[in-house]
Structure 1
Amino acid sequence: MIKVQGFLVLLSLALTLYTFVDCAMRDETQIKKLPKWGWLLAILFTGIFGPIAYLTIGRIRGPKGPKPGKKRILPPDDDPDFLRGL
């Protein structure tokens, strides 16, 4: 029983540390519902509920892949413009 409780405490600490660092490194525009400092306080002082709330409702998950305004960089052997010039 003690091993299970120790595992749950370590899991809670790891989740708290991960969410605190994730929130601290994000830009203000990627955080919803509360300001950044509010989420950091909630993560630190509410036990397991703060990190779970931050992960579910507090952050904006960006699109996967390249950003719409940026051109994708291709290596020379995949770039049609480079291959045309050969």
Structure 2
Amino acid sequence: MIRLAPWLLLIALTVYALVDCMQSDEDAVRGVPKLFWALLIVVLPLLGAVGWFVAGRPEQPRPGTGPRQQPRRPRGPDDDPDFLRRL
């Protein structure tokens, strides 16, 4: 069973990278077009998957780098104009 572990990890990494590639937005993919990344992941599973995660995957906004939005605080019924209008 221990001899199968590297192959199973490689298959899991390849499938995850391919699904992630297909679900990402075409305009947000870095480097080359999305179809080329998919072919690279299928033809060269380890190199393609690692390359996708390092150089092709769209960048996610990091916490604290974007504009700060205040979370919506719960309002009481007397602060809600729609509730007061229905009275």
If the TM-score is normalised by the length of the shorter chain, which range does it land in? 0.7 to 0.9
Aligned to 1:60: 58
The count of aligned residue pairs is 76
Secondary structure at the counterpart of residue 45 of structure 2: coil
Name the TM-score, length of structure 1 as normaliser: 0.73
Matched with 2:29 is 31
* CA apart distance, 1:72: 6.2
Q: 1:38 to 1:4 in 2, by over 3 A?
A: same
Whether contact under 8 Å (2:24, 2:58) holds in the other structure is no
1:13-52 correspondence to structure 2 within 5 Å: 13-52=11-50
SS at match of 2:2: helix
Query: What is the 5 A alignment of 1:66-77?
Result: 68=67, 74=72
RMSD across aligned positions (CA): 2.4
Structure 1 residue runs of 4 or more that deviate by more than 4 Å after TM superposition: none
Q: CA deviation at 1:35?
A: 0.3
- TM-score normalised by L of structure 2: 0.72
Q: Secondary structure at the match of 1:17?
A: helix
- Identical pairs, percent: 28
SS class of match (1:27): coil
Which position in structure 2 is the counterpart of 1:85? Answer: 79
Given the alignment of the two structures, is residue 6 of structure 1 paired with residue 4 of structure 2, yes or no?
yes
Could you say which structure has the larger radius of gyration?
2
CA distance in 1: counterparts of 2:26 and 2:5, whole angstroms: 33
